[in-house]
Amino acid sequence: MQVNNNIINLLIAGTGGQGVNSLYRIMLGLCQEHNLYSKSALFKGGAQRHGTVHATLRIFLRNEPGYQWYSSQVPPNGLDILLGLEPWETIRFRHFAGEHTQIWSNTSIVPLFAQRFLKESPGNPMEMLQRFGNNLRLQNYSQQAFQKYGDKRMANYLIGKDVIKSGILPFSNSEFMFRFIKEVKPEKKIEKLILEEII
Amino acid sequence: MISKLQVNGNEAVALAALSMDLDYFSHYPGSPVNFVEPAIRKFAVQFGKEIIFNNALNEHIATLAAGGAAFAGAKSMVVMKHVGMNIAVDPLTYLAYTGVKGAMVVIVGTDPGANASTGEADVHWYARMMNLPLLEPVTVAEIYRLCREAFLLSEQYELPVLLFIPTRLAYDSETIGFNIETGARLRTFEFIKDKNRYINVGQRNIRNHNHLIEKRNAIAENAAAFIKSFGNENAETAIITRGLTFTQSFETLQTLGGMNRFHLINIDLVFPLPALQLSQILKNKKEIVVIEDQDGFLEENLKMQLYNEGLCEISGKKFFPESGEIGYAQVFGFLSEKMGVEPLPVIVPEIQDVIPERLGTFCEGCPHRAVFFVLDKILKDIPGIIGGDIGCSSLPPFRADWLMCMNAGIGISQGIAQLPTPQVVFSTGGDGSFFHAGLLSLQSAVMNRINLIHLVLDNMSVAMTGHQESPSSKKGFDPKKLLKALGVNKVYSIKATDIKKLEKALRKEVGKTGVRVFWINGSCSRLENKTRDLKVKYLDPKIYHEKCGECRICFDEFACPAILDNKGDLQIDLNTCMRCGVCKELCPANAIKASAWQSFIKIYEKPQS
């Protein structure tokens, strides 16, 4: 698919409970703050926890005729940013990615089968991820989040901060951080740490 | 005054309904349209509207209630998911015959691809069967527009009008413009008696049926406004879409420069088709391709209605599957091939593996996990079956022996239990299913003297769809009184976490006769619970390895996601553990303990509420 320079296509993937929804709402909120037209969707299954959750966000940098009829889905190979809060989920959505796609992925694995007596996982996701090439950035965001904030669920904050730092999205670090505090309402000690970062 | 707001599909329905002065709202919660009700409540408060709500116990009741309100002149809306429509069709068929005085819009959440359901059956055919108009929006903004149109159609023709929203669109979000006048309107309602209209039997029904057919035909003749046309009207190839395939087709053609090569037509009013207008539009085409998901309802109707119009072949399902959701890649692939565009390179082609679905599982602290652990344990010793229902009690999907529809727990179990079989049948289901129709199913089992053990897994809400209230959520609800009144032989009321008591009582009932119900109490671990919050704050459960016999029952069989395997050492993840205490109960080596556990329980334990 031709890369459309007027649209930024973002996909956030993870498992239930990792904060995909929160990160999605933050990005959506930032679009609204900037008066950017967007189309987006959040998908989660019936399970409250541990299922696949993903969100797509298409940010229209310019409002051109016909955009209201564009899909909220990312076109094939049209993804600009893939944020994977879990490595299997990063791989699951690879078919949206093209050669230009920038990928940030957590390396902390949530085993595929919560029911242990079912079959083994199909291989090692880290080996598969290595094949994504130079546009891939891997970090154990869950471990970093635990070390820094005492809560591995802050991985979504760290991965979001990294993508904002890259400059691909038209949002600033401080806008992202304030929005995070507003949407997620973290514990006081974590909020304090975030505010200290802003200062 | 037009206001703008970023909303999802559910919220767009709510805004549309309020903008049309909705009076009455009924529903049975079901994904993907389970958030319409809270959205209407929220916006009703915001705009000062007074809406009457009926949180019905099933779709049959919800539909009848909305119909009744519409009989009395109200503008009503009923919301359900596609499988609920199977239940609603009985009353809807009659509402089609009688018509409605006010207005009635039926919102149905469909689910091609079964992303949020146990099935993806195509319910479009009901529109044809009932002769009711069916609208299908393509974007969130169109949901708002067409929902309003649905009310207008319903008022004009005095018919219920269907509006289908697929999962993907229900969860889509965009900024829409809307216009709602603040403040409630004062209305009174009255049911005006009309036996010719409302008495449907024999020839009266035939007369009403003829009247319905006249209305259907009139709608079709005046439906030109529901056709969207793009691209080159003189192109030889017409692409016809409904629903989500429209936006995928539009964007593909626009991006690949194909708009001048095709005539792209979207049909908002999917039934009855504006056949006259369509035959004019399509008469000079050399190729007509319908891109739609599921069975091919639009394609079949086009073929049926335009058969004698001398058109070229109409195809669709020749190119697109009948099952699963049609994705963007499939539409893109089809259209780009038609245009002779090179196929897209596959990123990382060496990864051939299909990443398996993540099967659902019980949340940490879910009371249902404890119950199924006990059932599995018993069934290691005796041959037996676990009858499954749907909802949270059916997570994960392989725990029970079937996963189908609401009340398949008691329903199918009683059929098996009636047969001469050595297998013990443990039927299960949540409190949501129980009040949906399980209560009747249980009473039927009593009437038919079936030897059945049924477990009602009462987590005090209809949990999976957003924790809607169930009758057992209310204080003072006494299941024993209810079940005894139904004639149930024996009723046990047991806490889910009391696994030893549960196992003992279940084993005692194996081989006995009559209908026995185990009412298992255990609040959903996602619901607010002050006692649990205190436990999470003050208890540090731990697996003591010096005592652990490495049986791995807690990890392999109980399978709580909060118990992790750290290179062979089992550990409890304190970030996610909900301190339910069940792992402590089931550990044969007594190796799981929490500091301050005993003294905490003495000071803080209250009966679960």
Here the tokens at position A106 are 């957590």
Here the tokens at position B412 are 């199918």
Q: Give the 3-state secondary structure of residue B283.
A: coil
B518 has a pLDDT exceeding 80: yes
The per-residue DSSP string of B366-393 comes to -HHHHHHHHHHHHTTTS-EEEE--SSGG
Find the closest chain A residue to B114 by CA distance. A45
CB contact (8 A) between residue B351 and residue A91: yes
Beta-carbon-side half-sphere exposure of residue A98 (alpha carbons within 13 Å) = 18
Say which residues have a Cβ less than 8 Å from residue A73's Cβ, sequence separation at least 6.
A41, A56, B168, B247, B248, B327, B328
The per-residue DSSP string of B304-366 comes to HHSGGGT---EESTTTS-SSSPPPHHHHHHHHHHHTTPPPPPPSSTT--PPPPP----PPTT-
Distance, in Å, from the CA atom of B83 to the CA atom of B109, rounded to the nearest integer, reads 9
Distances (CA, A) of A64 to A4, A17, B229, B458: 12, 37, 19, 52
CA A99 to chain centre: 18
Of B329, B350, B360, the CB nearest to A51: B360
Q: Give the 3-state secondary structure of residue B220.
A: helix
Q: Which chain B residues are within 8 Å of A65, Cβ to Cβ?
A: none
- B556-594 pLDDT per residue, tens: 899 898 998 888 889 999 888 999 999 999 999 999 998
Here the tokens at position A190 are 């974590």
Check residues B162 and A153 and name the one with the higher pLDDT. B162
Of A32, A45, A77, the CB nearest to B6: A32
Find the closest chain B residue to A112 by CA distance. B358
Here the tokens at position B562 are 């909060």
Chain B contact for A148, CB < 8 A? Answer: no
List average pLDDT for each run of 10 residues in chain A, which is 199 residues long.
Answer: 78 93 95 94 77 93 90 91 95 88 93 69 82 87 94 94 95 95 92 88
pLDDT at site A111: 80
Interface test with A, best of B253, B254, B335, B347 (most A CBs within 10 A): B347
Of A1, A95, A116, the CB nearest to B555: A116
Distance from CA of A107 to the nearest CA of B (A): 16
Chain B contact for A66, CB < 8 A? Answer: yes
pLDDT at site A117: 62
- Count of other CB atoms within 10 angstroms of residue A62: 10
Distance, in Å, from the CA atom of B527 to the CA atom of B459, rounded to the nearest integer, reads 9
Interface test with B, best of A53, A67, A69 (most B CBs within 10 A): A69
Chain A contact for B561, CB < 8 A? Answer: yes
By DSSP bridging, strand B24-27 and strand B52-55 are parallel
Instruction: Yes or no: say if B92 and B132 are a contact pair by the CB < 8 Å rule.
Output: yes
Instruction: Yes or no: say if B124 and B85 are a contact pair by the CB < 8 Å rule.
Output: no
Distance, in Å, from the CA atom of B396 to the CA atom of B452, rounded to the nearest integer, reads 23
Strand partners, B519: B456, B493
CB contact (8 A) between residue A38 and residue B6: yes
B326 dihedral zone (left: phi>0; alpha: psi -120 to 50; beta): beta
Closest CA to B136 of B125, B153, B150, B116: B150
pLDDT at site B534: 82
Say which residues have a Cβ less than 8 Å from residue B27's Cβ, sequence separation at least 6.
B33, B36, B37, B54, B55, B56, B62, B78, B79, B80
CB contact (8 A) between residue A49 and residue B396: no
Chain A contact for B244, CB < 8 A? Answer: yes
Distance, in Å, from the CA atom of A191 to the CA atom of B595, rounded to the nearest integer, reads 29
Distance, in Å, from the CA atom of A49 to the CA atom of B362, rounded to the nearest integer, reads 7
The 3-class SS string of A171-192 reads CCHHHHHHHHHHHHCCCHHHHH
CB contact (8 A) between residue B175 and residue A37: yes
Chain A contact for B360, CB < 8 A? Answer: yes
In A91-110, the residues whose Cβ lies within 8 Å of chain B are 91-92, 94-95, 97-99, 101
Interface test with A, best of B251, B265, B341 (most A CBs within 10 A): B251
Q: Which chain A residues are within 8 Å of B395, Cβ to Cβ?
A: 46-47
Q: Give the 3-state secondary structure of residue B99.
A: coil
Closest CA to B174 of A80, A72, A61, A4: A72
Chain A contact for B523, CB < 8 A? Answer: no
Here the tokens at position A175 are 């806008």
pLDDT at site A3: 61
Mean pLDDT, rounded, for B391-407: 85
Instruction: Yes or no: say if B425 and B487 are a contact pair by the CB < 8 Å rule.
Output: no
Q: Which chain B residues are within 8 Å of A38, Cβ to Cβ?
A: 6, 173-175
Q: Which chain A residues are within 8 Å of B244, Cβ to Cβ?
A: 71
Confidence of residue B115 (pLDDT cuts 50, 70, 90): confident
pLDDT at site A119: 64
Say which residues have a Cβ less than 8 Å from residue B607's Cβ, sequence separation at least 6.
none
Find the closest chain B residue to A77 by CA distance. B344
The 3-class SS string of B113-176 reads CCCCCCCCCCCCHHHHHHCCCEECCCCHHHHHHHHHHHHHHHHHHCCEEEEEEEHHHHCEEEEE
pLDDT at site B43: 97
- Whether omega for the bond prior to residue B396 falls within 30 degrees of 0, making it cis, is yes
CB contact (8 A) between residue B556 and residue A117: yes
Q: Which chain B residues are within 8 Å of A92, Cβ to Cβ?
A: 355
B607 has a pLDDT exceeding 80: no
Chain A contact for B352, CB < 8 A? Answer: no
Instruction: Yes or no: say if B396 and B430 are a contact pair by the CB < 8 Å rule.
Output: no
Distances (CA, A) of B377 to B380, B395, B517: 5, 18, 19
Mean pLDDT, rounded, for B108-133: 94
CB contact (8 A) between residue A2 and residue B575: no
Closest CA to B574 of B526, B531, B605, B538: B538
- Whether omega for the bond prior to residue B272 falls within 30 degrees of 0, making it cis, is yes
- B359-377 pLDDT per residue, tens: 778 899 999 999 999 999 9
CB contact (8 A) between residue A92 and residue B396: no
Chain B contact for A17, CB < 8 A? Answer: yes
Q: Say what the pTM is.
A: 0.91
Distance, in Å, from the CA atom of B329 to the CA atom of B339, rounded to the nearest integer, reads 15
Instruction: Yes or no: say if B578 and B459 are a contact pair by the CB < 8 Å rule.
Output: no
Instruction: Yes or no: say if B336 and B256 are a contact pair by the CB < 8 Å rule.
Output: yes
Of B138, B171, B329, the CB nearest to A76: B329
Burial category of B153 from C-beta neighbours within 10 Å (exposed 0-12, middle 13-18, buried 19 and up)? buried
Find the closest chain A residue to B139 by CA distance. A69
| Amino acid in the structure at residue B595 | S
Burial category of B95 from C-beta neighbours within 10 Å (exposed 0-12, middle 13-18, buried 19 and up)? buried
- B446-469 pLDDT per residue, tens: 999 999 999 999 998 888 888 888
Mean pLDDT, rounded, for B544-563: 91
ipTM (interface pTM) = 0.91
Distance, in Å, from the CA atom of B482 to the CA atom of B452, rounded to the nearest integer, reads 17
Mean pLDDT, chain B, rounded, equals 92
Beta-carbon-side half-sphere exposure of residue B355 (alpha carbons within 13 Å) = 19
Chain B contact for A36, CB < 8 A? Answer: no
Here the tokens at position B532 are 């649990």
Interface test with B, best of A28, A33, A48 (most B CBs within 10 A): A48
Here the tokens at position B486 are 């139904």
Of B247, B347, B392, the CB nearest to A94: B347
Distance, in Å, from the CA atom of B174 to the CA atom of A31, rounded to the nearest integer, reads 11
Distance, in Å, from the CA atom of B56 to the CA atom of B64, rounded to the nearest integer, reads 10
CB contact (8 A) between residue B555 and residue A39: no
Least confident of A94-98, B41-45, B173-177, B178-182: A94-98
B148 has a pLDDT exceeding 60: yes
Chain B contact for A116, CB < 8 A? Answer: yes
Least confident of A136-145, A183-192, B255-264, B597-606: B597-606
CB contacts < 8 A (A, B): 172
Closest CA to B377 of B467, B471, B504, B480: B504
Chain A contact for B260, CB < 8 A? Answer: no
In B118-147, the residues whose Cβ lies within 8 Å of chain A are 138-139, 141
Distance, in Å, from the CA atom of B243 to the CA atom of A116, rounded to the nearest integer, reads 40
Instruction: Yes or no: say if A129 and A92 are a contact pair by the CB < 8 Å rule.
Output: no
Q: Which chain B residues are within 8 Å of A6, Cβ to Cβ?
A: none
CB contact (8 A) between residue B358 and residue A112: yes
B467 dihedral zone (left: phi>0; alpha: psi -120 to 50; beta): left
Distance, in Å, from the CA atom of B319 to the CA atom of B403, rounded to the nearest integer, reads 31
Instruction: Yes or no: say if A130 and A117 are a contact pair by the CB < 8 Å rule.
Output: no
Of A32, A71, A151, the CB nearest to B251: A71
Say which residues have a Cβ less than 8 Å from residue B297's Cβ, sequence separation at least 6.
B122, B124, B125, B128, B270, B271
Find the closest chain B residue to A151 by CA distance. B575
B252 has a pLDDT exceeding 90: yes
Confidence of residue B608 (pLDDT cuts 50, 70, 90): very low
Check residues B470 and A140 and name the one with the higher pLDDT. A140
B495: enclosing H helix or E strand: strand B490-495
Instruction: Yes or no: say if A24 and A184 are a contact pair by the CB < 8 Å rule.
Output: no
